[in-house]
Amino acid sequence: MRFHSSLSKLLMGAMLALAGSAGAGAQTFPDKPVRLVVPFPPGSGTDIIGRLLAQELTNAWGQTVLVDNRPGASTIVGTEIVAKSPPDGYTVVMASNNHAMNVSLFHNKLPFDAVKDFSAVAEVAMLPFVLVVNPQFPAKDVKELLAIAKAKPQSVTYASTGNGTPPHVAGELLKQVAKVDIVHVPYKGSAAAVADVVSGQVPMMFVNVPSAISLVRAGKLRALAVGAPQRIGMMPELPTMKELGYGDFDVSLWMGLLAPAGTPAPVIDKMSAEIARILKDPAMRKKMEEQGAEPAYRPPAEFQAFVASEVARFARIVSDIGLKVD
């Protein structure tokens, strides 16, 4: 009995020491630079918002938050880096819809579990997608676009930021709900895809507002509709796909920070509280809104549950549209 009593005391002491260590770590966190992995190329919507957040966190903490662009394999390359990093809060990823979609698109090929291998920190923003066309393309609205596509099946192509990305899913969803046969042209990232729509190499695509808004304002792209449930303040004249009769057409891009599973809760909570404060700042909100993004905060537990629910939602969508990634 004495042995068991002594063992229990030792275990209790170890647990208290670990708890105290985590708490102390949270008090001093961060005491060195933090790495924010963005699994998209520079200039993408996720990159733009990630850099805004990184700068604000750098200002708040007095430690550099370094943006590390690691695009590839529908965000899997950059996300895997974070999944396999030490769970100490010093390496996080700016995750988005791709994170949830990939579970269904790549089935058992993912090198991580999209829910279990991560600790949610906070949701940061929502970015609506808009349907854009080259200004020389004859369609002035969605009705005309679909009429052209129906008149000559497979004559209209659409660009995406890669196989399995949200713009790809949006294009396939349009094919299903509008019953048109348009052809997918995948690119490696937003910049190349948008550039080819601007040049007229490909006539159309769904693109997030930060990547498109300056080009729309400059007349280099024509925006036809919003792929979100509500109209957006930056382009209030644009109808939603739902308004045009295409059901619950929602391809809004959410984004938020995930840390490796096992990151101490006090560290997660400290990061999340700082993000919540930043997103309430009118200056930060204005910067994000100027990029077409909507600040959208969810705390850790709520964001963790949301990611899991998005995995389930996209499983239904991918199944319904029969999407396959080559």
End-to-end Cα distance, the chain: 62
Residues 38, 55: Cα–Cα separation, whole Å: 14
On the CB side of 71, how many CA atoms lie within 13 Å of its CA? 17
Residues 119 and 19 in one domain: yes
pLDDT at 67: 98
Structure tokens at 192: 């190349």
Q: Which residues of the chain are under the pLDDT cut of 50?
A: 3, 22, 24
> Global pTM?
0.79
Range of the domain at 167: 129-226
Neighbours of 269 (CB within 10 A): 15
Q: Classify residue 207: in a domain, yes or no.
A: yes
- Pairing label, strands 157-160, 34-38: unpaired
Predicted confidence at residue 319, as pLDDT, reads 87
pLDDT tens profile 207-243: 988 788 889 999 999 999 999 888 888 889 999 999 9
Residues 258, 219 share a domain: no
Q: Residue 148 is part of a domain; what is its CATH number? A: 3.40.190.10
Under 8 Å between Cβ of 65 and 92:
no
What is the count of structural domains for the chain?
2
